[in-house]
Structure 1
Amino acid sequence: MENIKDYQQYLRGYNYTGVTPVIIDFYATWCGPCQAMAPMLKRLAQEYEGRIKVLKVDVDKNQALAAAARIQSIPTLFFITKDGQIERQVGGLPFQELVRLAMRIM
């Protein structure tokens, strides 16, 4: 697993506190699979509000963070535990898989 401390300098403005598990969605507006996942991530954020945080990072507007995170394909999701351990998932996922992965970091 990777550690959030490796990316902390690039996460300014994303309100990562280390208090709540976080999912970071690296996406682009032109990416079809990214757009297909957007409503599922919004639903996940709403259903687990207060227990998990979902952050979205547009790789075109945040190239330094995308480069630091070695994003080579989108969508890429980081599932981050409270202690900062990261599990990386590349590609579109069905909602139930998003829930399963979210439960693992809670």
Structure 2
Amino acid sequence: METINTYLPYLKGYDYTGKTPVIIDFYATWCGPCKALSPLIEKLAHEYEGRIKVLKVDVDKNEALAQAARIMSIPTLFFIDREGNIERHVGGLPYTALTQMAEKLIG
């Protein structure tokens, strides 16, 4: 099973404690679907502030992490539970699906 521990060396400045679920949005500034998803991710981050940590990773500026995470298409979202297990989703999601995933993470 894929876990966050695999990628921690690449997440500089971020210390995963397992207390808070994490959503990582892998994107690029030139990516149309990423631009469409971005305001939804920002809304989600605001709505779930303190309950879920939301990180955005620009794949062009963080190539080592993108390669380690095997990001082949963007946007790619990692939904990481408190145990560090990752559920990966490639492509955009409607806000209702994002909130369903968020609720699943916080249980």
Normalised by the length of structure 2, the TM-score is 0.94
In structure 1, the residue matched to 2:86 is: 86
- Bigger drift between 5-14 and 65-74 goes to 5-14
Aligned partners of 2:16, 2:59: CA distance in 1, in Å?
18
Summarize deviations over 1:60-99 as a string: whole Å, max 9, x none.
0000000000000000000001110000000011000001
Task: Give the Cα separation in 2 of the matches to 1:76 and 1:10.
Answer: 16
State the partner residue of 1:31.
31
What is the root-mean-square deviation in Å for CA atoms of aligned residues?
1.0
User: How far has the Cα of 1:15 moved from its partner?
Assistant: 4.6
Question: Could you tell me whether the CA contact under 8 Å between 1:14 and 1:55 is conserved in 2?
Answer: no
Q: Secondary structure at the match of 2:42?
A: helix
Contact 2:78 2:89 in 1 (8 A): yes
Aligned amino acid, residue 86 of structure 2: I
Does the alignment pair 1:57 with 2:28? Answer: no
Rounded to whole Å, the distance in 2 between the matches of 1:80 and 1:40 is 18
Compute the TM-score of the two structures, normalised by the length of structure 1. 0.95
Number of residue equivalences: 106
* 3-state DSSP of counterpart to 1:12: coil
Q: Percent identity?
A: 68
Q: How many angstroms apart in 1 are the aligned matches of 2:56 and 2:27?
A: 7
| SS of match in other structure, 2:56 | strand
The residue type equivalent to 1:96 in the other structure is T
Q: Give, in whole Å, the separation in 1 of the partners of 2:44 and 2:96.
A: 10
Partner in structure 2 of residue 5 of structure 1: 5
Runs (5+) with no aligned partner, structure 1 = none
> For structure 1, which segment, 29-38 or 7-16, has the greater mean C-alpha deviation from structure 2 after superposition?
7-16
Q: Secondary structure at the match of 1:2?
A: coil
